[in-house]
Amino acid sequence: MELPEKGKVVPLEEIAEICRAYGLSDLWKKIENDPPPIPFKSDGCSLWSDSWQGIDLYPACFFHDLKYWCGYPGEAAQRLIADAELMIDIARAGAPRMAEIVFAGVRVGGHEALKRSVSWGFGRQTD
């Protein structure tokens, strides 16, 4: 299944399809049980390039964005897992050194306290 393009609002029905196609049933359950009020769209590899030396990083960043979008405040373990999965996905794509750099960046720049469009739980930020 092809992922939606960067910047496209993705309706819940399409998110459900994507989660089914990629085996993300637990993620879909979380979203289905309490959908974030802000519609989902991925900005790709936030504040970074979606490709590195010819390697497409967008899929890894799309799924990371989806996990961040539906996160709840205080889910430190879930955020760490999402960040580690991003690092692993980028390494598996063929960019292991870049994976470590991206991991360090999201650990600092994605903290929910920053309340930015790239922060953990950005789909639930209503204030």
Confidence tier at 81 by pLDDT (50, 70, 90): very high
Nearest Cα to Cα of residue 57 among 18, 89, 15, 103: 89
The length of the chain is: 127
- What pTM did the predictor assign? 0.95
- Crossing angle of the two packed helices 76-93 and 96-109, in degrees rounded to 10: 160
User: What confidence score (pLDDT) does residue 47 get?
Assistant: 83
Q: Is the pLDDT of residue 127 over 80?
A: no
